[in-house]
Structure 1
């Protein structure tokens, strides 16, 4: 996996536009014409993985042209344009003039020439490129969506949120974890495009469940110190059944109870070593972290970290 950036401001001012145009033509297969050449700014962070390419781009007003020659140099990929802010108009061969704004997705057959215009002084668009072969089981939905916009449905939002999170964390992931996450992105795209039942069930077993579990864990972090944190409460907040919630954690190799305990133990560990909490007793820290039984807390803490809470505190404030 590879992550790299393209920044116009890193280029020599006198030749900034020409050099940036050359880079964009080589990497993005686009010819870019800034609306204001002197003040044009663009920054793109690209993540390359087997099966997907992701790019988070922020730039000022410009026109992008995928010429016949540049289109011939692209692969047989589907490029998904998802505006985060700003927006653009686009027309590709065989299509019609389309406006794409935040809350929409444009589905681009990447090998087709076309022209897009970005009028906003700061457009932020997230792109995901997926080989067409990976989307074969969603062919009917894909063909309907090509060269057009579609609403950012809940399925597309799951796709976007998961892909953006992966893009952000990519530099910190082990290669095998990143490849597994790339498969989740593909599955979520299948679901959003209306794949066959078999493919949708596959997505439900991987991509959708992974995205749902991520949302559940984020909700747990918000409620971590609450004495009311239970599977029933989190399930109700997430709009799923407690049984489904338990199955999410079982598929992740840990029960809901053990996951919550591990997060609370880590919170307590950090506070025990933090001078900000030095005036608090160990029992107060344990209670604040959500542990009602001090002896159980001490036993779980030593099992998790190989040291007692007193040991951790003593090491933090001596020497």
Structure 2
């Protein structure tokens, strides 16, 4: 696969029942992830997966039914892949045996595994993984062997930031240039290191790169989820993200904008989308302004005209494209 993060989708949906498991074992198991696959019941088999590649790392999500066992056998680790994988238990159960230890994960928990060591993983429902190069983690994590098989609880701040950042890039962050793809890959590597246990120096490096980027993503998602609330404020957002208001301000300053300017721009964008959508054709302009988070209609009208060069009524009637 090329390193442009374009998704590679693999599914058994279009195949006859008898061909699904052999196809999945060969294409997904042997070729894509170097694993053997054993269903744990005779129920009809179905599976799908999405794989993405960035410089030096890859991410994947998959769903399988019925419950199954993944086996990374001595034969399959002969590929000399010394990567480190972070397994994320999205839904359902997951238990594994690896490096002489056993572990079970609850939903949204994660765990690190070493691709160069045999493993057996039993699971059902949806899972995800991030696979990163050991050489990339080495400067940030003191003892990778000790980090393996240590359950990372879903309450982990680093794990929360990692999953939020991956969600953002999976859902359409444009990665048009090699430089941007490299930067995102570094951010993901930093967040994996923080999740599995970075050293003090490694954490300091990651804090200025991946952690900062992921915090900004989390703050923006927090704002987007609460745009309709007129009490949306800096202090409340900072408290939910467990950082200081000044830290949030600094995140936006690094992008040349203030917190208030960002909130206003997002509300303007939402209002414009609603005004020009047939779905809201029956809504009054004041109702749309309120739904976008504006409590003062005069302020909304002034801000809208300043941003788009037309009144809200003009935008609704003429469908003017935003500038």
Q: Report the TM-score, using the length of structure 2 for normalisation.
A: 0.84
1:128 Cα offset (Å): 0.7
Partner of 1:235: 238
Question: Which of residues 134, 151, 166 in structure 2 aligns to 1:132?
Answer: 134
Partner of 2:104: 99
Please list the CA deviations of residues 198-226 of structure 1 after superposition, one character each: whole Å capped at 9, or x if unmatched. 32122212222222222222222343233
Point out the more displaced range, 273-282 or 132-141: 273-282
1:280 Cα offset (Å): 5.9
2:29 pairs with 1:9: no
Give unmatched runs, 5+ long, in structure 1: none
- Give the Cα–Cα distance (whole angstroms) in 2 for the partners of residues 83 and 11 of structure 1: 27
- 1:138, 1:193 within 8 Å by CA — same for their partners in 2? no
2:256 pairs with 1:253: yes
- Give the Cα–Cα distance (whole angstroms) in 1 for the partners of residues 55 and 208 of structure 2: 20
* Mapping 1:152-301, distance limit 5 Å: 152=154, 153-169=156-172, 173-175=175-177, 176-275=179-278, 277-278=280-281, 282=285, 285-286=288-289, 289-291=292-294, 297-301=300-304
- 1:141, 1:195 within 8 Å by CA — same for their partners in 2? no
- Give the Cα–Cα distance (whole angstroms) in 1 for the partners of residues 83 and 180 of structure 2: 23
Question: Which of residues 12, 15, 22 in structure 2 aligns to 1:18?
Answer: 22
- Give the Cα–Cα distance (whole angstroms) in 2 for the partners of residues 285 and 40 of structure 1: 47
1:252 Cα offset (Å): 2.3
Kindly indicate which of the two structures has a greater share of residues assigned to helix. Answer: 1
Partner of 2:117: 112
1:297 Cα offset (Å): 4.4
- Give the Cα–Cα distance (whole angstroms) in 1 for the partners of residues 37 and 84 of structure 2: 20
Point out the more displaced range, 252-261 or 188-197: 188-197
1:173 Cα offset (Å): 4.4
- 1:76, 1:132 within 8 Å by CA — same for their partners in 2? yes
2:54 pairs with 1:49: yes
Compared with structure 1, are the counterparts of its residues 228 and 91 closer, same or farther at alpha carbon in structure 2 (3 Å cutoff)? closer
- Give the Cα–Cα distance (whole angstroms) in 2 for the partners of residues 4 and 169 of structure 1: 14
Partner of 2:144: 142
Matched pairs, number: 312
Partner of 2:314: 311
Q: Report the TM-score, using the length of structure 1 for normalisation.
A: 0.85
- 2:136, 2:189 within 8 Å by CA — same for their partners in 1? yes
Q: Which of the two has higher C-alpha Rg? A: 1
Partner of 1:82: 88
Give unmatched runs, 5+ long, in structure 2: none
